[in-house]
Amino acid sequence: MRRPAPDGLSLPEKAGFFRRVYDLVARIPPGRVATYGQIAALLEHPRWARTVGWALHSLPEDLSHLPWHRVLNGQGRISTRPSSAEQRRRLEAEGVRFDPDDRVPLGQFLWDGPEP
DNA sequence: CGAATGACCAAGC
DNA sequence: GGCTTGGCCATTC
């Protein structure tokens, strides 16, 4: 029997969180976007938005095919990082439009979450 | 082990 | 609407 970590989460659950992030991101349909906080909330860890960001930051090479570009911050902006230009290209290629202030209108493009 | 570092966020001004 | 502040949590130094 494994002893839970001090924060109440077993070590395998922590380790599996990254993988669950990847599984969920893989289900975001083309032309839609999700936010870091939304991903965290859907995985039942509402305060782990930063950890979702870290999971995508350290995305393994063999998972580079999954639609990481469909994840934006809560303001509908692309988070600051080197490949932000490519992220915007990929989104616009799917029909996602940006406002003049470089924000995606979440009211129009935000993903509803996985279909049951 | 404490301190610093992020692809974050909500609240306050 | 923008900018600052404090909190958040895994990872790294």
pLDDT of residue A2: 46
Please check whether residue A18 is in contact with residue A3, taking contact to mean a CB–CB distance below 8 angstroms.
Answer: no
Distance between terminal CA atoms of chain A?
33
Gyration radius from chain A CA atoms:
15
Q: CB neighbours of A13 closer than 8 A, spacing ≥ 6?
A: none
pLDDT of residue A9: 59
Whether the CB of A107 is less than 7 Å away from nucleic strand C comes out as no
* Number of neighbouring beta carbons within 10 Å of residue A27: 14
Please check whether residue A47 is in contact with residue A40, taking contact to mean a CB–CB distance below 8 angstroms.
Answer: yes
Whether the CB of A9 is less than 7 Å away from nucleic strand C comes out as yes
pLDDT of residue A12: 55
Spell out residues with C-beta < 7 A from strand B: A 35-38, 49-54, 56-57, 59, 68-69, 71, 73-75, 79-81, 87
**What would the two tokens of residue A115 be?**
């279909």
Whose C1' is closest to the CA of A56: which nucleotide?
B7
pLDDT of residue A3: 47
pLDDT of residue A11: 56
> What string of pLDDT tens digits covers the 116 residues of chain A?
444 454 555 555 567 899 999 999 999 999 999 999 999 999 999 999 999 999 999 999 999 999 999 999 999 999 988 889 999 999 999 999 999 999 999 999 999 999 88
**What would the two tokens of residue A20 be?**
């669950």
